[in-house]
Structure 1
């Protein structure tokens, strides 16, 4: 199993494509530039099975419908942010971009921590609120990786000054849900480069002393 990071849009939000050896794949956070993302996947001859959102801020959802319509695949998001997809105020696009980003409602609402089985993929859904109320992280043990969205970055953490953000809650999410994973687990971040759980435990200034 492998993954590819594809930065998209003006904020260079990372879309991740997790690819099984059989050629099927999962798409995480297709934030913008749908044509670019679709072209890349088609050139690789991968077969997408689903779109999974870590949260519903505008820079993570902009290409959702492009991808969903291309392959007729379901979109997953946490129930707490189900209405953010259709509301440009809630997803922040109107506030920060001065434009409306609206996508159709999700096909599957995540309401609790669980294990998702999609094709040959098995993912553990971890609720990691703090950056936003419905932020989730997807732990893929077979790939020794976790898709963290904007919860944890290399040397930093997600911002908490947006509507529904909570600094203490974010730190609790990171410590209770992420830092308990094996230290070699690769963190696939919503922006910037990948890191590992071990590296963040050792060097992340926001986590030391909490």
Structure 2
């Protein structure tokens, strides 16, 4: 079940990467590259930090799913764009899932709670950072005005806290993922934004 959820999150993140390729007028190769690294980049970074072989290098699904997403966007990007509000909901779900599973994996490898939380956030937002850098955009992580990294951090923190109190396994992952998803969803619906430095005016 976790594998299916993982691939679902990868598919949604890959869609966002491919759409970024459309917006920046990349060709089909560029779209596929953005789709792949947006979808699995965070997991690859996490596994590299943990010193293990990334799952994307030994599971064909982690490669094929982003390519399928890129193909869908290549042929039907106007229709996909119209579905964007729904896709953002799945994107929020993927964010919650990845921050929780990334933190859990780091904890199981013996990392401290603090470092595990950091890797959980990397898992959730790393692909988006790579997407923005590859497409020549300022990484959204550096101006998290729409509360993207913040829900990921709180979800990862929750998973680490539950782990410390002996609550582990699918229940802990689900609780942390639901928390991160809920915060991200509410931020989108209510327009919650992270504050700027004191005295700096919001130009948005």
Look at both structures and tell me which one has the larger radius of gyration over its CA atoms.
2
Higher relative contact order (CA 8 A, sep 6+): 2
Higher helix proportion (structure 1 or 2)? 2
TM-score (norm 1): 0.29
TM-score (norm 2): 0.30
Higher strand proportion (structure 1 or 2)? 1
